Amino acid sequence: MSGIAKRKLSNSVAMGISVLCAAIGLGLLFLILYDVVRHGLSSFGWTLFAKDPAPPGMAGGGLRSAILGQILLTAAALLAGVPTGVLAGTFLSEYGRSLKLSKIISAVSDMAVSIPSIVTGAFVYAILVKPFGGFNGWAGAAALAIIVLPVIVRTTESMTSMVPWSLREAAFALGAPYHRVIVGVVWRAAAGGIFTGVLLAAARAAGETAPLLFTSFNSGHFSLNMSRPVPSLTVTIYQYAASPYESWVALAWGAALAVTAAVLLLNVTGRVMIGLKQRR
- Which residue's CB is nearer to another protein, number 8 or number 180? 180
Residue 188 found at the interface with another protein (CB under 8 A): yes
Contact 197, 261 (CB under 8 A): no
Contact 267, 204 (CB under 8 A): no
CA 154 to the chain's CA centroid: 14
Residue 103 found at the interface with another protein (CB under 8 A): no
Residue 113 found at the interface with another protein (CB under 8 A): no
Shortest gap between Cβ of 96 and another protein (angstroms)? 12
- Which residue's CB is nearer to another protein, number 72 or number 181? 181
| Distance, CA of 70 to CA of 93 (rounded, Å) | 33
Among 175, 244, 278, 279, binds another protein (CB under 8 A): 175
Residue 184 found at the interface with another protein (CB under 8 A): yes
| Distance, CA of 67 to CA of 258 (rounded, Å) | 8
Query: How many chain residues touch another protein (CB under 8 A)?
Result: 18
- Which residue's CB is nearer to another protein, number 34 or number 178? 178
Contact positions with another protein (CB under 8 A) in 55-74: none
Residue 114 found at the interface with another protein (CB under 8 A): no
Shortest gap between Cβ of 103 and another protein (angstroms)? 15
Which residue type sits at 2?
A: S
Which residue type sits at 241?
A: A
Of 118, 113, 91, give the one whose Cα is nearest residue 103. 91
**Span interacting with another protein, options 15-23, 70-78, 138-146, 170-178, rule CB under 8 A:** 170-178
Residue 246 found at the interface with another protein (CB under 8 A): no
| Cβ neighbours of residue 178 closer than 8 Å, sequence gap 6 or more | 94, 95, 172
Binding site for another protein (CB under 8 A): 98, 166-177, 180, 184-185, 188-189
